[in-house]
């Protein structure tokens, strides 16, 4: 994924509870919903003992609108009540990027 610099990354790291209770379904719904939001640029995620999800946005305003989107607010509430033991959100300005690919 190559984006025009600068842009913003929202880095969400988390440790989930043992029970799924619809968590994966909600993750997929939120990813689809985020993709439809103005200012959304991309998404990457990985899950092991700790999950890391990074969404990319064109502005702080777009991030603020996403944070307050009604379905996203509902998912945040469910996350705090049922799915997460811990999480942290970081919002970063990406000024430069590079990558390596072998084949």
Domain residues for the domain of 82 are 7-94
Query: Is 18 part of a structural domain of the chain?
Result: yes
pLDDT given for residue 26 in this prediction: 93
Q: Which residues contact 79 (CB under 8 A, 6 or more apart)?
A: 87
pLDDT given for residue 70 in this prediction: 96
Query: Is 102 part of a structural domain of the chain?
Result: no
Query: Is 53 part of a structural domain of the chain?
Result: yes
pLDDT given for residue 1 in this prediction: 65
Query: Is 78 part of a structural domain of the chain?
Result: yes
Query: Is 73 part of a structural domain of the chain?
Result: yes
Query: Is 1 part of a structural domain of the chain?
Result: no
Query: Is 21 part of a structural domain of the chain?
Result: yes
Q: How many domains does the chain have?
A: 1
pLDDT digits (tens), the chain, 103 positions? 667 779 999 999 999 998 778 898 999 999 999 999 999 999 999 988 899 999 999 999 999 999 999 999 999 999 999 999 999 999 999 999 988 998 7
Quick check: 66 and 9 in contact, CB under 8 A? Answer: no
Query: Is 75 part of a structural domain of the chain?
Result: yes
CATH value at residue 13 = 3.30.70.100
Best CA proximity match to 19, nearest among 86, 84, 88: 84
């Amino acid at each position: 994924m190559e984006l025009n610099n600068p842009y913003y990354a929202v880095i969400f790291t988390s440790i989930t509870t043992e029970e799924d209770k619809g968590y994966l379904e909600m993750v997929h719904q939120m990813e689809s919903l985020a993709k439809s939001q103005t200012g959304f640029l991309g998404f990457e995620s990985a899950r092991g003992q700790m999950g890391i999800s990074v969404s990319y946005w064109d502005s702080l305003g777009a991030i603020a609108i996403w944070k307050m989107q009604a379905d996203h607010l509902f998912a945040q509430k469910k996350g705090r009540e049922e799915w997460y033991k811990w999480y942290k959100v970081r919002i970063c300005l990406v000024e430069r990027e590079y990558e390596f690919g072998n084949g």
